[in-house]
A and B are shown apart, each in its own frame.
Chain A
Amino acid sequence: MSMDYYREYILDHYKDPRNYGTLESPDIHSEDSNPLCGDQLNMDLQIEDGHVTEVRFQGRGCAISQASASMLSEMIEGKTIAEVIALGKDDILEALGIPISPARSKCAFLSLRVLHRGLAIAGLEKPNDEDDEDE
Chain B
Amino acid sequence: MVTSTSNSLAGRTIAEIRKDFPILERTVHGNKPFIFLDSAASSQKPIPVLEAMDHYYRYSHANVHRGVYEVSEEATAALEKARVKIARFIHARQSKQVIFTRNTTEGINLVAYSWGSANIQAGDLIILTEMEHHSNLVPWQLLAQRTGARLEFVPVTDDGQLRLDIYTQLLEQQPKLVAFTQMSNVLGTINPAKAMIAQAHAAGAVVLLDAAQSAPHLPLDVQELDADFVCFSAHKMLGPTGIGILYGKKALLEAMPPFMGGGDMIRTVKLHESTWNDLPWKFEAGTPAIAEAIGFGAAVDYLNALGMDTVRQHEQEITTYALEALQAVPGVTIYGPEASLRGGVISFNVQDVHPHDLATILDQEVGVAVRAGHHCAQPLMDRYDLAATARASFYIYTVKEEVDILVQGLQKAQQIFHF
CA distance A63 to B361 in the complex (A): 12
The answer to whether A107 and B365 touch across the interface, beta carbons within 8 angstroms, is no
Task: Across the interface, name the chain A residue whose C-beta is closest to B378.
Answer: A35
| 14 cross-chain CB contacts under 8 A | A1-B364, A11-B416, A11-B417, A35-B374, A36-B373, A37-B356, A37-B373, A38-B374, A39-B387, A60-B387, A61-B356, A61-B387, A63-B354, A107-B356
Q: In chain B between 372 and 418, which residues have their CB closer than 8 angstroms to a CB of chain A?
A: 372-374, 378, 381, 386-388, 416-417
Extra contacts, 17 of them, besides A2-B29, A37-B356 (Cβ < 8 A), are A2-B365, A5-B361, A5-B364, A6-B361, A6-B416, A6-B417, A35-B374, A37-B373, A37-B374, A37-B387, A38-B381, A60-B387, A61-B356, A62-B354, A62-B357, A63-B354, A104-B360
Q: In chain B between 136 and 164, which residues have their CB closer than 8 angstroms to a CB of chain A?
A: none
The answer to whether B372 and A37 touch across the interface, beta carbons within 8 angstroms, is yes
CA distance A39 to B357 in the complex (A): 12
The answer to whether B356 and A64 touch across the interface, beta carbons within 8 angstroms, is yes
How far does the Cβ of B339 sit from chain A's closest Cβ, in whole Å?
28
Contact A2-B354, Cβ < 8 Å, known A37-B388, A38-B374: no
User: Does A15 touch B at the CB level, under 8 Å?
Assistant: yes
- Cβ-closest 10 pairs across A and B: A38-B387, A62-B354, A62-B356, A62-B357, A63-B357, A38-B388, A37-B356, A6-B416, A37-B388, A37-B373
User: Does A3 touch B at the CB level, under 8 Å?
Assistant: yes
The A interface is mostly helix, strand or loop, or mixed, namely mixed
CA distance A62 to B416 in the complex (A): 14
Residues of B within 8 A of A (CB): 29, 354-357, 360-361, 364-365, 372-374, 378, 381, 386-388, 416-417, 419
The answer to whether A37 and B355 touch across the interface, beta carbons within 8 angstroms, is yes
Task: Across the interface, name the chain A residue whose C-beta is closest to B356.
Answer: A62
Q: In chain A between 1 and 18, which residues have their CB closer than 8 angstroms to a CB of chain B?
A: 1-3, 5-6, 11, 15
Report chain B residues within 8 Å CB of A6: 357, 361, 416-417
Q: Contact mask A35-68 → B, CB, 8 Å, 1/0?
A: 1111110000000000000000000111110000
Report chain A residues within 8 Å CB of B365: 2-3
Report chain B residues within 8 Å CB of A60: 387
Report chain B residues within 8 Å CB of A64: 356-357
B29, B354, B378, B386: the one within 8 Å of A61 (CB): B354
- Most central of A2, A64, A104 by chain B CB within 10 Å: A2
Task: Across the interface, name the chain A residue whose C-beta is closest to B416.
Answer: A6
Report chain B residues within 8 Å CB of A107: 356
Report chain A residues within 8 Å CB of B361: 5-6
CA distance A11 to B365 in the complex (A): 17
CA distance A40 to B374 in the complex (A): 14
Task: Across the interface, name the chain A residue whose C-beta is closest to B413.
Answer: A6
- Most central of B354, B355, B386 by chain A CB within 10 Å: B354
